Structure formats: structure tokens, C-alpha cells
A and B are shown apart, each in its own frame.
Chain A
Amino acid sequence: MTATLAPSGSSVALDWRRALLWGGICALSLVSVSLIGLPVGMNKRILIEPVLSLGYLFLLWIPLVFGYVATTVVVLEGVEARKSGVADLLAGLTAGLMGGIGLTLLMVGLDTVNIRKPLVNWSPQLFRLLTFERGLEFGIPVWLGICAGLGLVGAVLHQLPAVARRVMSWVLFGVMAVAILEAVIDDLAEGFHLEWLTDALYYKKGGTEGLTVTSAVVLALVLAALPVVTGGRVKAAVDHYRDAPSEDRRRTSLVLFGAIAVACVGLPMILGGIVNELLANVGLFLLLALGLNIVVGLAGLLDLGYVAFFAVGGYTTSVLTSSNSPFFAPEWHFGIALLFVVVMAAVAGLLIGAPVIRMRGDYLAIVTLGFGEIVRLLFLSDWLKPYFGGSQGITKVNPVDIGPFKVQGSDPRSVFYLVLFFCALAIYVSWRLQGSRLGRAWMATREDEQVAEAMGINTVNAKLMAFVVGATMAAFSGAVLAAKVGSVFPKSFEILVSIIILVVVIVGGMGNIAGVMVGSLVLIGILGGPRQPGLLQEFQSYKLLIYGALLVFMMLKRPEGLVPSARRSRELHQDEYLQDAWLGDEAETEGDQGAPS
């Protein structure tokens, strides 16, 4: 950490080194993002017709963020914080401008040399996109201006009062969300017969055409006015909820939960096929994530081969219900097959769990990863082809008959309800187990295994139990997948799946059911699963890049996730928590000021 102690006072000299460093990184990021192909690849997706596409958005946020970061004041405890002033604006401007210079160099380079051989995105399309199809003399000044301006805005953000900053980010975020969620909003509006709203809001029908400039401005104004109207009542409500005694809090949670449940059951009725399909995928991965949440979040076992259980569930269901299973095709009903799915999942959980249970945490991760691959390779191999069909997999899995309903892939709504049922079950089980004897044993094992054992917990059994419960949830998910797609292939069970679920759990908030729900809704819904497209289908080829970046970013900046569990955030921010606790404690520590450990 190089936090130089600048002399206090507002007339500080500009820290050129820092500004230039961040400017350099800004330029580098802009150029790499361009060359990785994000702008060109996503240019088709219009957010605000005709001024902003998703592709341009990927370039625009960079100078803004770096302008902001370059002028963030490091506040050290006990040292008077440096006052920010004009110098900071200059620094932000510099950082942005350097980004612009980076893009300029890129444009000039694109114009003069051709190195498309290794760099596939060194293309005329990129050049046209960057120069707005009007040549260098237009593109260069415009980008220099835009980047410097955004850098400046980033720096100005520090000068604004916190409220203004919050309103701005809320407006920006809101407008982007409305633009990105076009398909969903369209669909919803149609269901509620509110087509006039979407007609006014969006440029054209079709789900990917973007807002119009007017509607974007109006929307921004409305969103900006919203906090004024509510007058902080939302925050007050949240605070009230947080400070309420646990009894009240539980009641509020139940009401909230009931509302969500009603929405879950009711909404699909009025939603169209695409959104229902999306929601079904979200549910499928939520189910997986809930299971992994028990294994990783509660019991602290980093299982990277989690996909193996998903595969076991899928294959068990397929073998038992398909008419096309090569070796044994009893064509049972889905419900009966489910019983076997549970049994097979438990067996697989024990088989994979037992050898790894005594290993160090990180070895466990790699060995389970190995098991995950072994399982996939076995399903793929010629050796087991007579039983599982090798790379052709098992097709013609019968649709699920539940009385008058039939669950099959062509009817996404039915799949969604099936998934919903399992998710509700998994959520209930997770919730109940968390607060039970078993959940406490898992947590204790995660905290300190040796001590847990010395306190009478059979840690081996506890861990195995976590494996089995997690495996069962994953296997249910696999069973639903088989019924949904109507077939299973080894390709659906790559290691990638494990990693993406891990990202979902971590981004959402490890050890927290609500967090996992939010995580899968946001990630799977918008970005999509390993093979399932999300709302932004343009992301398809960059999905994994974004997942990777997101994982790193979350671990560095917000390891507790979007919706942290109280416990987890305490663990990761012990210092701050301790400070608060001690400050609040000071009045009543009688004889307690013993040597701090």
C-alpha cells in the first residue's frame, strides 16, 4: 500500500504519478476490451436508439470508473483526510484523456497496419465502430472528448454530496436495467395489457430495440424524482426491519416471502415463452446453487466436482424413464424415478465424499474436480456406451405426467412449475437445516474442525451428510434437466457447470439462501448458464470472460457477495465489526480489559 501522506489543505499539487498510472491502466483496458471484441460483438444490441448500444456501453464505463478510482482519497485512520479539490478534477481528466489517447492510438493503428493474423478483432468493423463510420478526423477528437469528459465526471462524483451520488447511480442503473430487461418488461406488459407503456418506452417492438432518447430522458427524470417522492421512506423501512426484534423480523420476512411465492406462482401464467424458459433455467441453477451453498457455504467444503451429482441425477432419470436407454429401459414414471435419483445421489455423495473427507480444504477442491471429470469421462467413454450411450447420450426421455399436466421442454411454463416445486423444497430444507443441530455442526466444522471434534461433533459424519444433502439437490436439478430437454449428453456436464454455480453462490452471498436466489436470478437470468442463453444472448461468447472477471472482482472487493449473510460479512470484515462492538461496549466493560489476544 502506497498511501503517501499528502499535506492537508485543499491546495494540493496534482499527484501526477498516480493519475498517469491509472490513466495508463484505463487506456490499456479500453484497448483490450476493444480487441477482445466486446464492442463489436455487442453493437447490435441497442440500449437507447440511436445513441447507445451495449457495445459502446462497454467502452464508456471504463473512463468513468477510472476517473473515479484515480481520484479516490485513501483515508487512513488517525490521519486527517486529504481534502480533494481542483487537482483531483485535473487528475480525473488526465486519466480519462489517457484512455482517449489509448483509443486514438488504436484507431490510428487499425488504419495503418494490419495485424489481423493473430488478433482476430483487428478488423475494419472495429475501426468503423470506433470512428462512428466517419473517419479518423471525426473519431479522434470525439473519443478524446468523451473519455476526458467521463474521467472528469468520475472525479466530480467525489465532490458531490453523497445523496447526489446515490441518486445519480440509481438513475443510471435504473435506465440501463429498463433497457436491458426490455424483453422481460415487454412480456410482462403484454400479460397485464399495458402495451401502451412499452410502446411509449421502447423504440420498436421486438425485445432488443432499445429505448428512445425521449423515453430515456423521461425515465431518468422519473427515476430521479422517485427518491424525492418516497423521501427516504424505503431506507427507513429497511432500517426498521433490520432493527426490529427477531419476532417482528420473522413476521415481516414471512410476509415478504409469501408475496414472492405468490408472484412465482402467478407470474408465469401471464409471461410468455421466452421469459418462462429463462426462469426455468434460473430455477434449474438455483437448485444446484442451493445444494452447493450447503456444501461450500455451510460446511466449508469447496466441492469443484459438484457437476458429477447433476450428471448422476440426469442420467438416472433418463435411464429409468427413456424409451431409448440402450441397456435398461423400464420407462418408469418420473415420480418413481425420483426415488432412485435420491438413492443414487446419496450413493454418489458417499462414494465421492468418503475418500476426500479427511483431506485438506484445497486438496479436496482439486480432487473433487478430478472426480467431476472422471464421471463425465466415464459417461462419455466407449466402455460404458452400452449403458449410457457414450457421446450420443440418451434421448427420448418421456415427459413428466402429473395428472392432467405434462411437463416437457416445449412448454416452458410447465417446466418452470416443476422447477419451482423443487426449488421451494430445497429452500425449505436449507432454511430448516441451517437452524438445526446439523446446521450448527456444519458451521462448527467449517470454523475449526479439530475443536468441533473435541466438542463432540463427529465431523466425518457431518461432512458426509453435507455432501449427501448437496448431492441430492443437484441430482433433482439433473432430473428436471433430463425431463426438460428430453435427453442427456455428457456435454451438459462439463466442469464449467461446477464453476459457474460456484460463481453464482459467491456472487450472491455464500451461506445465505436469499443471496443464492439473487445470484442465480441476476447471473443465470441475464448472462445465462453454461449452455443456456440468458437474457442478453449477445453475451454468449463472452459469458465466461465476464464470469471469470466477476469472480475475481467479488473476491477482491466484496467477498461476502451481493446479499451477504450476517455471519459471513462479519467474518470477512472482522476488524470493522470489532471496532464498532468495542466502541459500543466501552461503557460497560468492568473488569474485561484483559490482554487482547
Chain B
Amino acid sequence: MSLLEIRGLQVTFGGLDALSSLDFHVNDGEIVSVIGPNGAGKTTFFNAISGMVPPTEGEILFDGESVLGLDPNQITEMGIARTFQNVRLFPNMTVVENLMVSQHCRTSQLFVGALFQTKAFKKEEREIRERAEEILAFFGTRLTGYRLDQPAFALSYANRRRLEIARAMATQPRLLLLDEPVAGMNPMETAELTGLIGRLRDEWGFTIVFIEHDMKVVRDVSDRVVVLDHGVPIAEGSYESVSTDPDVIEAYLGRPLESRKDRR
């Protein structure tokens, strides 16, 4: 069954359609990539799903329930987590705190526990810390050890990207939305992260939707590719079928000069 189901989604900014009549679905355990030229509305698409931008029209169902009108934190609680295109960590919190704070909606302790250091409070603290370390260990040794207590801004760029993914994982989602996870990385790092995306599904059971410009990554990991242009899906299918689709080529490269003349 489909985990995420979107019907007729439309997002309008001041009379400009950023997205219009978009239908989209993701099945449980699938890896779907969303591609399209700059300004095609990919990030707006993510913003609409995660509740940061209200859709003008349409329906977004997650696991059969509508997420429309919910606050971003409620949507995260339902099981959708995301990363950001321009890395947005909590820069002055340490690596492990970044992950602990992201488990906020999975924990419940309030004043009483903290003030009286109840057993439940201590247990919860221990659990979320262990969980944070477990997630970080997934990325090798780069975010563990002494780095656990370093502030996030002191990390290298690639590590910040990794930490962002880790932070999204910490919210214990079912669906992960990754916004250009390998942007700005060198080929080695890109290759590594490509592998990680596959493992995220296989080992952690996340369903993944990701935006990417790097076609090699898209080819290597995605089960299905959706192409957006001007807020409209123009193609969908396997990487092979999409990459040969004339509409897609046109969206990326523009129409050849002769054919444009023909159409006139």
C-alpha cells in the first residue's frame, strides 16, 4: 500500500503556482527520487509535505491519514522527517544534543521528572542518549568519540550533512525526506552516501524520498524517479525510462532551436 499519497496538490505564492495539480505516491519501503531543473518546486514540495508551507489545494495522506493543517511538529510526530537543502543544524548544540533534542516528540518527561530526577526520567535520558549514539555509529567513526560533545558548527561540511540525516533519523520516522543529501560533496563522499541511502532502507526500514541533482546517485539508489518542472510532474518511472523521455530532456536542456521554429 502507499505510505504517502498526494492528490491534486497545489501551492501558490502570491498568484504564482509553485506546484499545481501534483499527484504523487510512495509505497512502503520504496526509495523515490524527485528531480527537476532549478526552480521546479522540489523544495516547495517537501515544505508542503512537512507542513512548513500550507497547500492551497489538494490532499496529503500519510498512512491513510490527512496531514493537512497540522503543524510541522505534529507531522514529524506522525513519522515524516526531513533534512534541509542548506544544512540547518542547531549550530551551538553539541552533536549528541542535536540528536537528543530531535527525539523530543518520542519522549514525554516534563518538569517533575527533571526536578526530582525520577527513575523514569533517568531511564529516558539514558535511552535517548544510547539511541543517539547508535544512530551516529551508523555513519562510522566520524560522528562518534570526542565529536559527540563538539558543537555542530565545528564539524566539517560533509559531517554536517551526515549529522542532519542522523538528526532526521532520530525523530524515528517512517518516511525520510532528504533534500539534496550529497550537494557540495566530493566524489568519494558522494559514493559513500549513496551507499548509505540504500542501507537506510535495508537496515533501518525507512521509506525514502529524496531530491537530487546528481544523476549518478539517482540512478544508483532510486526505485522510481519523478521529474518535476514548473511545479508539474512531467515524467515518472524507472531511471532508464525517465532519462530517455523527450519531455525530461527538454525540461533540462531546453528545446532544440529547429523544433522551436517548427512549432511556430
Contacts and interface: CB of A to CB of B under 8 A. Distances in A.
Interface of A: 428-429, 432-433, 435-441, 443-444, 447-448, 450-459, 567-568, 570-571, 574, 577-578, 581, 585, 589, 591-597
A222 to B, nearest CB: 42
Interface of B: 50, 52, 71-73, 76-77, 81-82, 84, 86-93, 97, 100-102, 104-107, 109-111, 113-115, 117, 121, 124-125, 142, 150-151, 153-154, 156-161, 167-168, 171, 184-186, 188-189, 192
Contacts of B150: 581
A443 B153 CA distance: 15
B158 A594 contact: yes
Contact of A438 (B92, B110, B117, B159): B110
A452 B90 CA distance: 8
Given A450-B52, A456-B104, A594-B185, A570 B92 contact: yes
A443 B101 contact: yes
B93 A440 contact: yes
12 contacts: A428-B115, A436-B114, A437-B104, A453-B72, A454-B76, A455-B73, A591-B192, A592-B158, A592-B159, A594-B158, A595-B157, A595-B186
Contact of A567 (B89, B151, B188): B151
A422 B145 CA distance: 40
Nearest to A594: B158
B237 to A, nearest CB: 30
Given A443-B90, A447-B92, A592-B157, 11 more contacts: A433-B111, A437-B109, A443-B101, A444-B90, A451-B89, A455-B101, A457-B101, A567-B93, A581-B150, A591-B192, A593-B156
B92 A456 contact: no
B73 A453 contact: yes
A594 B185 CA distance: 5
Given A432-B115, A443-B90, A447-B93, A455 B157 contact: no
Contacts of B171: 455-456
A455 B184 contact: no
Contacts of A438: 110-111, 114
Given A436-B109, A455-B171, A571-B92, A594 B104 contact: no
A140 to B, nearest CB: 54
B88 to A, nearest CB: 5
Contacts of A453: 52, 71-73
A455 B156 contact: no
Contacts of A432: 114-115, 117
A456 B102 contact: yes
B97 A456 contact: no
A73 B73 CA distance: 51
B167 A455 contact: yes
Nearest to B115: A432
Contacts of B109: 436-437
B140 to A, nearest CB: 9
B104 A455 contact: yes
B114 A448 contact: no
Nearest to B168: A455
A568 B76 CA distance: 29
Given A437-B114, A591-B186, A447 B91 contact: yes
A453 B192 CA distance: 30
Interface pairs A-B: 3 shortest CB-CB: A456-B105, A436-B114, A456-B76
Nearest to A511: B92
**Which of A437, A589, A593 is the most central at the interface, judged by chain B CB atoms within 10 Å of its CB?**
A437
Contacts of A436: 109, 113-114, 121, 125
B104 A441 contact: yes
Contact of B73 (A428, A429, A457): A457
Given A432-B117, A448-B88, A459 B73 contact: yes
Nearest to B183: A595
B121 to A, nearest CB: 7
Nearest to B116: A432
Nearest to B106: A456
B60 to A, nearest CB: 15
